[in-house]
Amino acid sequence: MTKRFAVIGLGHFGLNLSLSLMGRKAEVLALDVREERVELVRDKVSHAVVADSKDIKALKGLGLTEMDAVIVAIGEDFESSMLTTAHLQELGVKNIVNRVVSPVHEKLLNLMKIEDLVLPEGDSAEQLARRLTIQGVVESLELNDEYSIAEVKVPDPFIGKTLNEIDLRKKYHVNLVTVIRRKESRKFLTLGEREKSLVVLGVPDSDMQFTTDDILVVFGKEKYISALTEG
């Protein structure tokens, strides 16, 4: 099924993200208040709209609640970014991805319960496009046109099974590099709560059993990694 995204804000990052998503066979709605920016991508994306995202009326009727994700890529206007995000929440958009423009912006987005934040300096448009279009991928590193290393959320069918039972290499054509797992410490913070930390398990044994919230670090061709995340 073709994934659908909306990109709001067509500066350098938003424009490149829109093109990267299109290059990965996604459907893209690109939106900006500046007509000249919209014209740059009109013939290169699925749909391009001139609209002021600070006005909730302009966002209604665009089908944003049906998108796999709406990315707020506004970079130079702090107020527009915050107001746009608030409107998207009011409209009921479930998956909102925000470009962070400052530490204060990040704190406010955290208060708004926005969990998917992007720092363009560390997360390129192509990297974000890859993460958005491959279900279940937390982070990925493209080694060349064919092969990638990716951090993947453990698929539900794997939970409770051993590496030997799943046989990733034979059935899914990928190699498991290691597993990142949440581990409870013995230090109690408050009654009933424990501090949790991420630990790298090293080279997995064949009898290692996968648990909920495991992150698998895998190596292989992107098409096989994508198939793995789909179960």
Residue at a domain's end among 107, 133, 159: 133
Helix (H, G, I), strand (E, B) or coil at 194: strand
- Tell whether 31 and 106 lie within a shared domain: yes
Number of domains in the chain: 2
Q: Which of 133, 149, 164 is the last residue of a domain?
A: 133
Task: Give 132-174 as a 3 state SS string.
Answer: HHCCCEEEEEECCCCEEEEEEECCHHHCCCEHHHHCHHHHHCC
Between CA 26 and CA 189 the distance in angstroms is 44
Q: Please give the model's pTM, rounded to 2 decimal places.
A: 0.63
Of 113, 133, 153, the one marking the end of a domain is: 133
Q: Is the pLDDT of residue 181 over 50?
A: yes
Could you tell me the CA-to-CA distances from 190 to 193, 194, 195, 198 in Å, in that order? 5, 7, 9, 20
**190/207 same-domain check:** yes
* Average pLDDT score over residue span 61-70: 95
Q: Is residue 120 domain-shared with residue 142, that is, in the same domain?
A: no
Question: What's the pLDDT band for 186 if we cut at 50, 70, 90?
Answer: very low
More confident of the two residues 203 and 36: 36
The total number of residues shown for the chain amounts to 231
Question: 25-47 pLDDT, tens per residue?
Answer: 999 999 999 999 999 999 999 99
Residue 221 to residues 123, 124, 159: CA-CA distances in angstroms? 21, 20, 23
Tell me which residue range forms the domain holding 51.
Answer: 4-133
Q: For residue 12, what is the domain's CATH number?
A: 3.40.50.720
Predicted pLDDT of residue 167: 86
8 and 101 together in one domain: yes
> What pLDDT does residue 191 have?
42
Residues 80 and 106 in one domain: yes
Rounded distance, CA 201 to CA 181, Å? 7
User: Which residue has better confidence, 117 or 56?
Assistant: 56
Specify the CATH number for the domain of residue 171.
3.30.70.1450
- Least Cα distance to 67 among 88, 37, 42, 48 occurs for 88
